Amino acid sequence: MKIFVFAVLAGTLLSIQGRGQAADKPQTGKETSVFATELYFSKGGLGVIDENLYIDLKSPKNELLLKDGKRWTGKVAGAREVVMFFEDRIWSSSDLPNGFDLSKSAVVSFEGDIVRFFRFTGMSGGYYERLPAK
């Protein structure tokens, strides 16, 4: 009986979704990770990762905006690229600083027509669909 109650409770907790501007999307069975399948909607072409980091989804390049107005520009839009946001800077995986702490970071993965992100500080993430370039 205890195992059954635990299984029901665990299933209920794991099914809770819909934080922020995420859209509810039915699970297809192909992807089992919640953050990989949670679609977020951009506002004015900007995808919000948190109050310090935004994705420019209309840029012809892989591009991130930081709270201080600085921009990070990567490869051409559609090219696959992964970067880390740590200590208010963008880092490539081959260029991480001493003292890098993944638990205080966000990972942004540019993957063709979508941009995935995961915030380790809040253990949440999702993806945005790219918009037509400016």
**pLDDT-flagged residues of the chain (< 70):** 1-36, 133-134
Alpha helix ranges (H) inside the chain: 2-14, 34-37
d(CA 133, CA 23): 23
Chain centroid to Cα 103, Å, comes to 14
Q: Is the pTM of this model over 0.85?
A: no
Q: What was the pLDDT predicted at 11?
A: 41
Q: How far apart are CA 107 and CA 53, in angstroms?
A: 11
CA-to-CA dists, residue 105 to 5, 26, 68, 96, 109, angstroms: 35, 28, 17, 11, 13
pLDDT at residue 49, rounded to an integer? 92
pLDDT at 21: 52
* Residue 94, φ and ψ in degrees, nearest 5: -90, 0
pLDDT at 9: 35
What is residue 122's predicted lDDT score, i.e. its pLDDT?
82
